[in-house]
């Protein structure tokens, strides 16, 4: 650094020039940059951009590896070519299997529509054979709405949905436990049921007061057997709603 008055070389940190005595002005230190305040959105953006960055690196690395392998196939030995093609085929097959499994999982979550009371009855008996109360509850239509008008039936923390799900799970689970204890695993419920479709009956009038928009009901009755042994009488009340039959109630007596 030079003196502005006489041009002499100044010592580092000097306040005056040793030759002419001229004062040396202080050079102001740069102010530290303030870090930008992070918000919730900036944190989310950092995580998302970081994830996309890692995914991009993985794809670019995979692409480069495949490209190098393909380029190396031109000079590779036949055994190396076969090994690479075998690995590539295995990877493709696993990818196809994964896609099929995901598609099946998504499609299985779709609710099943029962177009007739008889098909609904078959499904009910099948779930009773398996003790699958959750599947039985998935067939229910308006039962929780009916209970919704009678909140005095619920305990603390209960809702119409939880009450009905618990009802169907106990119904299927108790019957399953009873029959497997007596007949062992793999029993088969059999029996001839009768279906009567009714409209504008007492049950319809009662549910009309609860604002249930259904005008057709089916009552299914019949005995259930395991082989030649009588088990219980079955009674199902179903309701047609939007072109599909839903379970309203199941009785085993």
- Asked if residue 155 and residue 86 are part of one domain, the reply reads no
Please give the mean pLDDT across all residues of the chain. 77
pLDDT on residue 234: 92
Q: Are strands 194-199 and 216-226 parallel, antiparallel or unpaired?
A: antiparallel
Q: Whole domain around residue 93: which residue ranges? A: 56-108
- Asked if residue 104 and residue 156 are part of one domain, the reply reads no
114-128: pLDDT as tens digits: 889 999 999 999 999
- Asked if residue 81 and residue 141 are part of one domain, the reply reads no
pLDDT at 209 over 70: no
pLDDT on residue 86: 77
Give the residue-averaged pLDDT of 56-82. 71
Give CA–CA dist 166/145, Å, rounded.
15
Using the 3D structure, point to which of 73, 90, 108 is the last residue of a domain: 108
Most confident of 198-202, 204-208, 234-238: 234-238
- Asked if residue 63 and residue 137 are part of one domain, the reply reads no
- Asked if residue 165 and residue 61 are part of one domain, the reply reads no
- Asked if residue 137 and residue 210 are part of one domain, the reply reads yes
Would you say 218 and 117 are in contact if contact means Cβ atoms under 8 Å apart?
yes
Q: Is residue 34 part of a domain?
A: no
- Asked if residue 211 and residue 124 are part of one domain, the reply reads yes
Q: Is residue 2 part of a domain?
A: no
pLDDT on residue 163: 78
3 state SS of 51: helix
- For residues 112 and 155, the model is more confident at 112
- Asked if residue 215 and residue 157 are part of one domain, the reply reads yes
Neighbouring-strand partners of residue 223:
233
pLDDT at 48 over 60: yes
Least confident of 16-20, 71-75, 154-158, 211-215: 211-215
Q: What is the pTM of this model?
A: 0.52
Using the 3D structure, point to which of 67, 82, 108 is the last residue of a domain: 108
pLDDT on residue 6: 78
Find the radius of gyration of the CA atoms of the chain.
38
pLDDT at 16 over 60: yes
Give the residue-averaged pLDDT of 54-69. 77
pLDDT at 90 over 80: yes
- Helix ranges, 116-210 (H): 117-130, 133-138, 143-148, 160-183, 202-208
Least confident of 51-65, 96-110, 111-125, 231-245: 96-110
Q: Is residue 38 part of a domain?
A: no
- Asked if residue 184 and residue 212 are part of one domain, the reply reads yes
Judged on CB neighbours under 10 Å (0-12, 13-18, 19+), 43 is: exposed
pLDDT on residue 126: 92
Would you say 24 and 15 are in contact if contact means Cβ atoms under 8 Å apart?
yes
pLDDT on residue 142: 64
Give the residue-averaged pLDDT of 111-140. 89
- Asked if residue 233 and residue 125 are part of one domain, the reply reads yes
179-201: pLDDT as tens digits: 999 998 888 998 888 888 876 55
pLDDT on residue 237: 85
pLDDT on residue 233: 93
Look at the block and give the residue holding tokens 């088969």. Answer: 188
18 pLDDT tier (thresholds 50, 70, 90): confident
What's the domain count of the chain? 2
Would you say 201 and 80 are in contact if contact means Cβ atoms under 8 Å apart?
no
Give the residue-averaged pLDDT of 90-102. 82
Q: Is residue 27 part of a domain?
A: no
pLDDT at 66 over 90: no
- Asked if residue 246 and residue 123 are part of one domain, the reply reads yes
Least confident of 34-38, 127-131, 194-198: 34-38
């Amino acid at each position: 650094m030079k003196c502005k008055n006489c041009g002499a070389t100044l010592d580092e940190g000097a306040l005056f020039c040793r030759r002419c005595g001229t004062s040396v002005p202080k050079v102001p230190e740069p102010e530290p940059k303030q870090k930008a305040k992070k918000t919730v959105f900036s944190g989310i953006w950092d995580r998302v951009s970081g994830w996309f960055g890692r995914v991009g690196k993985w794809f670019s690395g995979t692409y480069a590896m495949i490209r190098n392998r393909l380029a190396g196939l031109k000079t590779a030995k036949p055994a190396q070519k076969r090994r690479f093609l075998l690995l590539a085929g295995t990877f493709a097959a696993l990818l196809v299997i994964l896609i099929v499994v995901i598609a099946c999982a998504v499609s299985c979550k779709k609710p099943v529509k029962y177009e007739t009371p008889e098909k609904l009855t078959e499904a009910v008996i099948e779930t009773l054979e398996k003790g699958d109360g959750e599947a039985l509850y998935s067939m229910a239509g308006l039962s929780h709405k009916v209970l919704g008008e009678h909140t005095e039936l619920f305990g603390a923390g209960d809702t119409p949905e939880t009450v009905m799900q618990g009802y169907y799970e106990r119904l299927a689970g108790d019957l399953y436990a009873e029959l497997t204890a007596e007949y062992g695993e793999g029993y088969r419920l059999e029996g001839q049921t009768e279906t009567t479709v009714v409209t504008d009956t007492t049950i319809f009038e009662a549910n009309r007061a609860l604002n249930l928009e259904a005008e057709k009901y089916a009552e299914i009755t019949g005995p259930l057997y395991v082989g030649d042994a009588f088990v219980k009488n079955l009674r199902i009340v179903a309701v047609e709603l939007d072109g599909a039959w839903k379970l309203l109630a199941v009785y085993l007596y």
